[in-house]
A and B are shown apart, each in its own frame.
Chain A
Amino acid sequence: MTSLVGIEINFYVLLTLKILAITGVVLTGILPIIFGELKISAHMQSRVGPYFAGGRWGWAQPLADGIKFFQKEDLVPAAADRQVYKLAPYLLMVSTLAVFVIIPFSPNLIAADLDLGIFFALAISSLSTLGVLMAGWSSGNKYSLIGGLRAAAQIIAYELPLVLAVIGVVIQAGTLSMVGIVEAQIDMGVPYLVGGQVIGFGIFFTASLAELNRTPFDLPIAESELVMGYLTEYSGFRFTTFFLAEYAGVFSISAIAATLFLGGYGFWGLDSTVFGPFVLVAKVGLLAFLMIWIRWTWPRMREDQLQTMAWKWLVPLALANIMVTAIFKVVF
């Protein structure tokens, strides 16, 4: 039982199970977000939205869309750099999926409670830049190129405030582990959003919108200017991968924000081990709704305004936030 072979088999079985579980959670998690986006945007625009697929409320619309995309031809432009072009969506998808490894759904329900959990998440999610840049560069299309470069510039600019906003939380919690951060908030009694990190949350949320290329920071795929930015040439399965990665990104960033600022799986009077996943999913839903709300309300910013906002406002504000947090940590 304790033989090396036994542990090894166990390890790989566990690994497979974890991979399957994460993929399953991601897929089941993002379909409601996609559906929510379809329906909520429809109601905000005084439309009905999907109505027929699935029989009731059009609940099967995301599935139907997915199946439709799978049937489409997978086009590779003649001018494209084939290998890079084909690899780009999967790199993006992997970087988004890997974040789910450290998201705690309950004290025990976590794929890997790394000591450097949040650090891992921020590092691995930065890989998405590479995917976007590869897509933009390899498409052999000027719109794609501009879109890809915009995405790179934007993600570099907003990575900084994102990380700096997290540092405030890390200082307050005294740990980088995701479970540790949640437990610190449960010990404190209130989530960090109320307990001192409200500015940090604002910065984190703004920066994460930029990371996800969502309105008002959707410049890389600005439809009215760049047709579809780095996505212009993609079709079929690869486009679906981009599409799913975008919503998986919404899910993962919302989950990280919920864990860092909204108390993660903890809720007053509810047993975390039992209700933890539901509490977290509810909080993710709330943040995802906020993102959808913003997307269908606001126009898009301009590149220079975006950079100005990142470097002149968010970064100094985040630094000030760290300073204040650190002073409070030391003094009290």
Chain B
Amino acid sequence: MSQALDPRAAAHVSEVAVSVELQTPGMTLNIGPQHPSTHGVLRLVAELDGERIVNVEPVIGYMHRGYEKLSEVRTYPQITALVNRIDWVSGFANEIPLMVAVERLMEIEVPERAQSIRLILTELARISSHLVFMSSYPLELGAATPLMHALREREHVLELIEGATGGRFHPNFNRIGGVKPAAGGGSTQKKVVQDLPKNFLAETRAAMDNVLEVCDDIDTLVTGNEIFQARTMGVAVLPADQALAYGVSGPNLRASGVAFDLRKHEDYLPYHKYDFDVVTGDNGDCFDRYRVRVEEVRQAARIVNQAIDDLPGGPLQAKVPRVIKVPKGETYVRAENPKGEMGYYLVSDGGRIPYRLKIRSASFSNLSILPWALKGLIVPDIIALLGSLDFVLGDVDR
């Protein structure tokens, strides 16, 4: 194109060139899958205008392990080992709804003591999960110190879980019809059933005191901090109707003011025996999501203390057939997990393995609100929102 342009066209071209130069095209920022604050392998493709987010697309699936399919080729007792790896921060709590689903189909009555032990350990899992949140959330906002204090107490809670079940993260403790005789010697003889470890109850009570204390510590160190409040109050508000529409559940939903707690609405574990409050927030912002979780730790400690006080005696296991065959039928059991509503839709064709096991995990639904919620925020708020949703990628991808 070496032809000489006529002057008018040349002027036009130069005008165009100027206007092209003055444009500020958006930048596409790829956050993750390897990034310090995506809780694993979440990837966000964010279109930015300066630091403001125009559009964001979450890309998930980097941790898909195919648990639903794997479950279709495993016997029921084997599935327990899979499901506590879904949300590994609260491994124990994942087992409960599955066990309850199987037991309901098989019409097994679980002994009271086993139920109470399940309840205690579920609440311990909730405490440990929320303590992870309480440690990681300030870290994401730049405060490194609460991490250590909260994780220290979580370690004690994990030790309790380990003492009772033998595993810190993946207890694999539930059996169909009850719970496993606890770890430790003595269980080799058929008649002698090893119950909860010695001093478990006293240690749990002491640990609950420590947990409550660290909640107060975190309150003084983080909750009242001006900068923390400025970073979280009024940031990334999820209105109740939007949260419900996206299927957000758990503390994230309660922070938006919806008093929806499956511990009150369902009867998968005997929560009705104990007093506890459903904590709700008012504004649905990041601060409320944080505050609700801190409060829930206190409520969980309250439940655990009550459950220890009137732990019923009796067997740990109901009578179950040696080969577990679930009668034909289907059921959906959901439970209030630390991250939100966790449900298993179990279809059995009468055999030793499930015909289909659909896992409804809380983090997946909670995460689905991201594109809606992130629009219009700025880059630091991505982190504030991601952290406050408290998801685990294993729970998202399964």
Contacts and interface: CB of A to CB of B under 8 A. Distances in A.
B378 A304 contact: yes
A227 B231 CA distance: 19
A24 to B, nearest CB: 32
Interface in A283-305: 296-305
Contacts of B140: 224
Contacts of A216: 142, 227
A225 B383 contact: yes
A296 B145 contact: yes
Interface of B: 27, 29-30, 35-37, 51, 138-145, 147-149, 152, 221-222, 225, 227-228, 230-231, 378-383, 387
B22 to A, nearest CB: 18
B378 A299 contact: no
A305 B141 CA distance: 14
A47 interface: yes
Interface in A275-327: 296-305
B379 A299 contact: no
A297 B145 CA distance: 6
A225 B227 contact: no
Contacts of A215: 142-143
A219 B143 CA distance: 12
A contact residues, range = 20 to 34
Contact of B144 (A142, A225, A296, A304): A296
Closest A-B pairs by Cβ, 10 of them: A300-B142, A45-B148, A224-B37, A299-B143, A299-B141, A224-B140, A299-B142, A302-B380, A296-B145, A299-B228
Nearest to B37: A224
A218 interface: yes
Interface string A237-269: 000000000000000000000000000000000
Contact of A46 (B148, B231, B378, B382): B148
A271 interface: no
A227 B230 CA distance: 22
B149 A227 contact: no
A301 B227 contact: yes
Contact of A303 (B35, B51, B147): B51
Given A224-B383, A227-B35, A298 B227 contact: yes
A40 to B, nearest CB: 11
B51 A45 contact: no
Contacts of A146: 29, 51, 379
Contacts of A296: 144-145
A89 B143 CA distance: 27
A44 interface: yes
B27 A222 contact: no
Interface string A40-54: 010011110000000
A299 B138 contact: yes
B218 to A, nearest CB: 12
A225 B379 contact: yes
Contacts of A227: 35-36
Given A45-B148, A296-B144, 12 more contacts: A45-B149, A142-B27, A216-B227, A218-B142, A219-B380, A297-B143, A299-B143, A299-B225, A300-B141, A302-B230, A302-B381, A303-B380
